[in-house]
A and B are shown apart, each in its own frame.
Chain A
Amino acid sequence: MLTLKNLPVKNLNSYPGRTIAMLIFAGLMSAAVFGGMLIIRGLRQGLESVQSRLGADILVTPEDADNDFDAQTFLIQAEPGYFYMDASKLDQIRAVEGVETASPQMFLASATSSCCSAKLQIIAFDPDTDFTIQPWIRETFHGAQKLGKMDVIVGANVTVYDDHILRLYNNDCRVIGQFAPTGYSLDNAVYTDFETIKVLITSSFDTKLNKYQPFNTEDVISSVLVRVKNGYDAGDVANKIKNSVSGLNTTATKSMVSKIADSLSSISTSVHVFTIVILFVGALMTILIFLMMINERTREFASLRAMGASRNILSYIVIGEAVFINLLGGLIGIIASAVVIIGFSGVIREKLGIGFTPPSPRHIIIPAFFGIVVALLAAVAACLAAVKRVNRLDVSLVLKEGE
């Protein structure tokens, strides 16, 4: 039965082509606003996450590690690599003025696994002095999580299928947990302690898969993470370390992140411009479609007026159609946008070239709200123009025109 309540929906059903066009424009506007906010939020979240994970002020690596370590790309597109320096460098670094604490790390890259061509970066820390990975472990596991012999924790991008056992150089390592994603290369690594990595390095020599000649694992480290004393500048201390200890490269971690922050800023600008263009075109098209619709339906509205429908009822029909179609289009746009952005977050990360982590459900609510509001605002703008035109209708003139 045709009632005033279902009349707007019946009208929309009667003109499928126009309804689909309006759905597309409403969906595009919501998808642009929601998707843009989601991408920027995900990029910021990734940057904040990696800043908190880096923990140290200076990263010290051997001078001859240039082929395996590039500080500027390390966080974004690091290929698994390993390099070593004399462990005695650690004490020399600790002796430099301005160094509050220094902790060594050891690296190794796994051989390709049976499943695929993936190589893993293995990073080992010294539990007694570490101040970067252990806080991350405490945060992830809500308390102290002790690594036993041959225990490892994997980054968010590492998948383990075989009953939490990761086979590295013929050793079965027990996976005791997985870190939350940061969106950066830290997610591709396997973390363990010195005791375990020394076994793995020895096994890599035994299997002849290590690029170096066998050495005593007690005498080497790969890098040193340094925290600077209060009142000292990280750049100055990094220079002091480089000048006073030979054969080292130093990188202030702030400089590693600053390039990412610059990229984030330029991507944000592009996303904003794109969103504004889509909004402008979408809103304009919605208003135009509604005005064209009113022009097409002048006889229908005039007939309704002649049958006794008030101007308020005609306004209700127009507003009902606009709100319904924009709300539906907005919802479809938001769902489609969320599915594509969250589903293909890996591709987005690769294409943008900086870390992207899909925001959690509670961070999705605000962008979704704005997406719907934008679609409704376009409906209001279309209604204002259309209702004004409907209210100006001269019923007798319109009906006479058709005679």
Chain B
Amino acid sequence: MIEQMNQNKFSLKRFIPALLSFLLCIGAATIFHPCEAKEDGTWMHCHDVQTAVIAGSIFLTALLIGSGIIQSKRYVITMHIAAAICSGAMFFLPGIIMPMCMMHTMRCYAVMQPFVRIMSALVCIFSLLETVKNLKKE
């Protein structure tokens, strides 16, 4: 009985990757946003990267919240591996997978790219740690 209670114990630690990917989404949409629109009102290339990062991080957040709620270890491991791969891909999204603006001095390179890379690396590391932890339990 006690063992079962321990297994079901609600642990906030499991939600750290979800919280990080949520912060990635909020940050990319607000403080760490890319360049503003051009004078003629059209968007620069980096706007597409921002959209992709926000969409990706919403998916990641949902995936990682799910992995924190679901009890089956196998599903949890699979979801964390998927999250690690997605966040790894997101690391390379700004400037490598998707082109951004021309100058490294522009906001998308100076502010958004490092933020996305730091946060996606953290999500990837925490997802991998959770995977290893769950594999050990399994």
Contacts and interface: CB of A to CB of B under 8 A. Distances in A.
Interface of A: 112-113, 115-118, 120, 156-159, 161, 187-188, 339-340, 343-344, 346-347, 350
5 contacts: A115-B44, A116-B38, A161-B99, A343-B115, A346-B109
A158 B103 contact: yes
A116 B106 contact: yes
Given A116-B35, A116-B44, A344-B110, 5 more contacts: A116-B102, A118-B101, A157-B103, A159-B100, A187-B104
Contacts of A158: 102-104
Q: Nearest 8 pairs between A and B by C-beta? A: A346-B110, A343-B114, A116-B101, A157-B104, A116-B44, A118-B102, A161-B99, A118-B103
Contact of B38 (A117, A161, A188): A117
Contacts of B104: 156-159, 187, 346
Contacts, number: 66
A350 B105 CA distance: 9
A188 B110 contact: no
B100 A117 contact: no
Interface residues of B, number: 22
Contacts of B114: 343-344, 346
B117 interface: yes
Interface in B84-115: 95, 99-106, 109-111, 114-115
A117 B106 CA distance: 10
Contacts of B105: 157, 187-188, 346, 350
A91 B106 CA distance: 40
A304 B109 CA distance: 57
B88 to A, nearest CB: 17
A353 to B, nearest CB: 13
A159 B38 contact: no
A153 to B, nearest CB: 16
B23 interface: no
A343 B104 CA distance: 12
Nearest to B104: A157
Nearest to A344: B114
B99 A118 contact: no
B39 interface: yes
A117 B110 contact: no
A118 B106 contact: yes
B128 interface: no
Given A112-B38, A117-B39, A343 B117 contact: yes
Q: Which of B46, B95, B114 has the most CB of A within 10 A?
A: B114
A158 B100 CA distance: 11
Contact of A159 (B95, B115, B118): B95
Nearest to B110: A346
